[in-house]
Amino acid sequence: MKRTWVILLMAGLLASCGGGKSEAAQTTEAQVQKVDISQVPEEWPKLNEELAAKGEKLFVQKGCNACHMVSDQKLVGPGLKGLNKRTTYRWAIAMILNPDSMLKNDERAKQLLKEYGTPMPNQKVTLEEAEAILHYILKVSQSTL
């Protein structure tokens, strides 16, 4: 019995080595964090229906819907309808791509954290995915439903 516990303990220690991240996860994180958003416009783009359709799927796949409603209703985080009236496109992209840095360095992000009490997690979203998600939010924001 003692031997079984020792083996389990050793297996647990070995499994925890390396920080728990695979090489692929580390690469993805590094790629996401190196995105230069200086070329992303401040103004929201015209709605692209094709991107919005992709964004609707990504909104669920990336888990955005666990914390955000696409209405003006609050959940764990703020409701996203009308986001294009409350902030710039570049700020929204930055918040999606690198919420860790935004929560440390951006006053508005700090205020949202204070208000909602839950930090936005880094979902390892690419720039293209973030743009699609924001087109979906833009589509919902423009709807009259």
In a shared domain, residues 95 and 111:
yes
Contact by Cβ (8 Å): 72, 81:
yes
In a shared domain, residues 22 and 60:
no
Cβ neighbours around 77 below 10 Å, total? 19
Q: Is 20 left (phi over 0), alpha (psi -120 to 50) or beta?
A: left
Number of structural domains the chain divides into: 2
In a shared domain, residues 26 and 97:
no
Contact by Cβ (8 Å): 140, 59:
no
pLDDT given at position 124: 93
The pLDDT tens digits for 13-36 are 333 333 344 334 443 444 445 678
In a shared domain, residues 98 and 121:
yes
In a shared domain, residues 79 and 114:
yes
Domain limits for position 50:
37-142
